[in-house]
Amino acid sequence: MIFDSMNRFASYAKLSPEVWKKLATFIAGCTPETPAGRYEIDGDKVYAMIQGYNLHEFNADKLENHREFVDIQLLLEGAETIWWRTVDGLEVTEAYTPDIAFFRSGKEGSVPLPLAPGYFALFLPEEGHQPGVGDPADRVVKMVVKIHRSLLEA
């Protein structure tokens, strides 16, 4: 897991220089007014989803995990908490369909990440995370970038 300022986003380009170049260009062109939807950056291997939604309370059965894709999450508007932890030894509440599964996890043993515009969180496959946590009356506009793990492997 990486949690950092967008001011330092370029310093992670060594993970996949060509992907980071495309991502930086795409991210720079997005605002809270960017229409919701899926945007292909490099076919099915790298894409972004712009979403607007109300936050939800912490749900012990909804720690999500991905097998094939890295998640980069950043907010264009609003603030939320993402809860992070490894999924080792946790009970599966919903099996993989096809790339996402859910696990049971309480707040104990989890790390809260306060996400706001200007910051990003990167989750590798096998790292559990529960995004969108906060006051259900609050709304956010978020970008979730998906990068196939093969593009980050040497």
To the nearest whole number, what is the mean pLDDT of the chain? 96
User: Taking a C-beta distance cutoff of 8 angstroms, is the pair 83, 111 a contact?
Assistant: yes
Q: Thinking of the domain 2-151, which architecture would CATH place it in?
A: Sandwich (2.60)
Q: Where are the alpha helices (DSSP H) in the chain?
A: 17-28
pLDDT tens digit sequence for 122-145: 999 889 999 999 999 999 999 999
Collapsed DSSP state (helix, strand, coil) of residue 134: coil
pLDDT tens digit sequence for 47-87: 999 999 999 999 999 999 999 999 999 999 999 999 999 99
The two tokens of residue 85 are 């932890």
154 has a pLDDT exceeding 60: no
Collapsed DSSP state (helix, strand, coil) of residue 100: strand
What are the structural domain ranges in the chain? 2-151
Report DSSP state, residue 9. G
Percent of the chain topping pLDDT 90: 97
